[in-house]
Structures are given as C-alpha cells and as structure tokens.
Structure 1
Amino acid sequence: MGIEDLAERILVALAEYEKHPGDTGRGRYGFNGAELSELINRDAKASPDEINDAIEYLDDNGLLERRDFLGTHPFSFGHVGLNSRGRHAYEKLKAPERPSVATATVERPYRPPQRPPTPFGFTEYHWAEVDALVAQGKIRVVMGYQWNSAHYDRKLLVSRIESQFRWALDLYNEKPKAGPKEMVFTELAAGYGEHLFTNIIRDILAADIAVFDTSDLNPNVMLELGAALALGVTVLPIRAAAGAKPPSDIVGLTWAEYSNSAERFADHPGHLLRLAALVARAAERHRG
C-alpha cells in the first residue's frame, strides 16, 4: 500500500471512529502509535514504518494535531488526532465528486501569528528577541537544572547531554536531502538586571527542545518545565536513577533516566535514536 493510500485510510479511520452510535466525539479522538496500528490494521496490515510515513504525510498537509515525545519506538510520533482541517478533508473525501487525500486538503487560510500570553516582565523588545532567534533557522536546545546536586557532576552532565544532541544533529545532516543544520545549545539562566524569569522564558520560547533535569525536584527547574509545557515546547525531562520520583501531576511524561552524570541512559542505544528522532523532527519543522 502506498503512502497516500495509507494516509487516506488513517484519515478515514480517525474521522469515523466512535465509541458508540451517535457519539458526539466522533472524529475528535486521538491515538498513540499502538492504538492507531490496531485501529487501521483491522482491514489491512501496515508496518510501523509505513504508518510513520503516512503520519508524516498527513502532518505535512496540516491535517493533524500531533504530539511528539520520547519512548514511542517503533513509532515516530506520540499522539495524533484530526484537527478541523483534517475533518474538513474527510468531508471532501466523502463528497460525490471524490478527490484524493492530496487534493482534499485546502489551502491554509492566513492568520496573524498568535503568541502565547505574555509572561510577567516581557515586552515587545523581548518578543522581538524571540522572533530574531527563531528566524536564524537553527535548532535550539535549552537545558534547565539545579546548579549543585549530589546526583550529578554539573559540567559532565551538561557536556554529555549537549554531545548527545550534537551526535543526533550530525546523524540528521548525513541525510542526502537534509541540508546542513546548525544547533545552539543553551543553559537556562536569568539575565543581569532583568526580571529573574525574562531571559529564561525568552530562551524557552525560542527553543525547539527543552531539557530539564528533575533529579532534585528543584522548584525553579520544575517551574521552568511547567512553563515550557504550557508554551507548547517539546520537553525532555531527565533524572538520575537515584533521583527523586516525579510528582504525580506530571508522571505521565516520558522520562529519560541516566546514571553517572548522563554517561549512560537506560536503554542507551534506544535513547540516542529517540534523540535523533526529536532533532530530525525539529529540523523538518525549520525546513517547512
């Protein structure tokens, strides 16, 4: 089955799924990779790689609400469902003069860029800084952590996390059609003479990926993690194997656990490949 054919099957399956006849939530449910595979494979068999390609196709056409996070192997996405454009494309597919899924998509209407609510202390000057950083087209990774910890050596931790992300970027740049991408890795820190949170929020808003070490459940780090989640940034929480357990309200996040100041992560080869998927996804967003 081709990518477009499978994409159409997924679109229809998402649009027609209902928990009971007359379900008002029809077409508005989301699925993880395993659930989606089970849903569409009732009629035809599709491998995880084929499903990944079809999801990328639908996402590139702007038809999905999609969340990505670690721990989803062999799928390259975390959770997907149709957005309003996806449901509209389904309606066009079911019209008497039936188009393909490619021509069923409609040109995206122009909407002025929408910003999240302005954080305390943020001004138009700071928004301009965010816009300028994003316009550089570089993959931006930020990291928040407790300065001194019994769970890790700070310099080793930061150096190893940065090295792992740069390895992931090198892997992406080896792709023939990828086009070289650069990365900026930034440790979150308050700005001199400014409100404590202003520079941190600026860097989070401009980031593609935000890493937070929660081994100590440091209040500032947890606040930064919450801000990144609220602002829609891809978040990677990490912690030492002997570190504190995450609080219950965020325990559902995918956590990466490490030993010896991030020298090695649990499921280390898989961890590196999932980092590569995160970086590749960020790079493709910049290309789009």
Structure 2
Amino acid sequence: MEGESKLLASGGEDCTIRLWSMSTRAKNHPLIATFHGHEKALSFLSVAWHKSSLLVSCSKDSKVKVWDTVAPSSGSSSCVGSAHLNSNGPPIAMKCHESLCYIAAGAEVTAIDLRTMKKASVLALQNHRILSCEMMPSEWLICTGTKDRALLWDIRKAQELPNTVAEMQSNGPVTLLHLDQYKVVTGVPSDGQVHVWETRTGDSLNSLGCGEPSRLGVRSRVSAMAVDGCRIAMAGSSPEGCVLHYRDFATASAPVVSLPGKEKEVSRFWRPQEFDDSEEEEY
C-alpha cells in the first residue's frame, strides 16, 4: 500500500490484520496498528482500486471487511464496511477492480460493491465447485477450475444469458490455473503435465511435461506452477525425487502449434505483452 507513507499489511491464523511502516530502511519496521474483527483466519488481503487508503480483507468463513488505513487505530473502529457471503465453501480467490471486489467461493463468484457493501452480481456454476480461479476484470474475464474442466466466463453478460466463453476439458481436477489476455494454463497434479489454451477461443495449444518420465515409467506429478509472460516454471515429484522444470519461450524461433485450418494464424501463446501484431516475425 502506498500513500504519503508506505505500508505493508499482513494477516493470518490469529484473525488479526497488522499494518507495518515501510517508510524507513531500518531492519525492523514499526507496527502501526492492529485490526480486530474477523473470527476466522485471514485468506486474502487487497487494496481497493477506487481508493488506495482502503484495505479489503476476506476470512475463511467468507466474511469480507473494509478497513480505513488513514490514521488507523488499533481495534475494530477502523472497519468501514462488512459483508458475508453465503457460500458453501471457503474463499478460493479474491480480486479488486475499480470499486468492485470479486470473490470466488463454493460454486459462485460474487462481485461486491465496496461503496455500499452490497452484491453487484453473482456468477453461479451449477453443480461445479470451484477448485481454482483467476480473474481479469479489466478484460471482463473470469476463469474457474473445476473437477473436470476449466471454464472461461464473460462477466459482462447477464446470468441468464450464455456467458461461457470457452470450456477446456481436463482429465482431473483443475487445481492449478493461470489466466492472461493471450493464454490459459491449466494443471492437474496427477497428470504430470500442464496444458495451454488460447484465451480468445479456448483452442488447445500445447501440453508441457514436468520433467522426463522416471526409470519406472512414472511421470512426475505437478504440485505447483508459475507463469510470467514467455516463461513457465513447474515443480513436481516422482518416485525418484523432486523436480523443478523451467522453460523460457522468449527466443523460440518456430510457432508452438499450428492449428488445423489456421496455418496462417500464429498463436499468441508465450508472445510478450508488447508484441506488435503488425510484425511478421514468428516466435
């Protein structure tokens, strides 16, 4: 958090939120305030986009609170808004954009207007519990991982309209998920691979293995992944030990995939954000 002074907010199992001053270069940063009010451990913290002095918190019981960090006091008096989601599961993800806060929990993604603390919209997945969720509200997109697929949603459309942009099938629960304007990357821990899809169409682009098969012929399990532009890192394990697999496509000289009927169309998979569509260079 930044304003006249730099602040760091932390929250955890003790149900409290602490504000720390980061304005000095001292090794030990002073504690400014402690906020009380949550009854369960903290799951997420985020700065409100429409007013940077407001801090949004969400606890494991799906209670959302907004705190005023300007001249804070220790206690609950700094809480300026609260709401409770009636979800059937703990929060999976939270993202603030403009004056809205999007929270995925149970089988729903709920948007809360932080100015009124009222529900602005609810995206309900019928019979699909959300296992992972990534959001790009600036692009009107939300991607949810479920037990057998990843679903990409257009949040501009009303709930009663068909608002699914794409369905990306999986052979297991999608617990690892990445979303950006070019690609969706999904991972199933038991699969040993991550799969890459085109954001605009949901077309399958590529599958990347987490290391080579072991001497016993068993593929590595994927336990974690991180994607940054053209780079991807995967962590996994096999009967022979742990593995960390890293790939960088920034200097690749050939298209990753050529889709049937779209040979002239170069996929944007791993293309840097600043890539100019008018350029003829293929990666």
TM-score of the aligned structures, taking structure 2 as reference length: 0.28
Which of 1 and 2 has higher RCO (CA within 8 Å, sep 6+)?
1
Higher fraction of helix: 1
TM-score by length of 1: 0.27
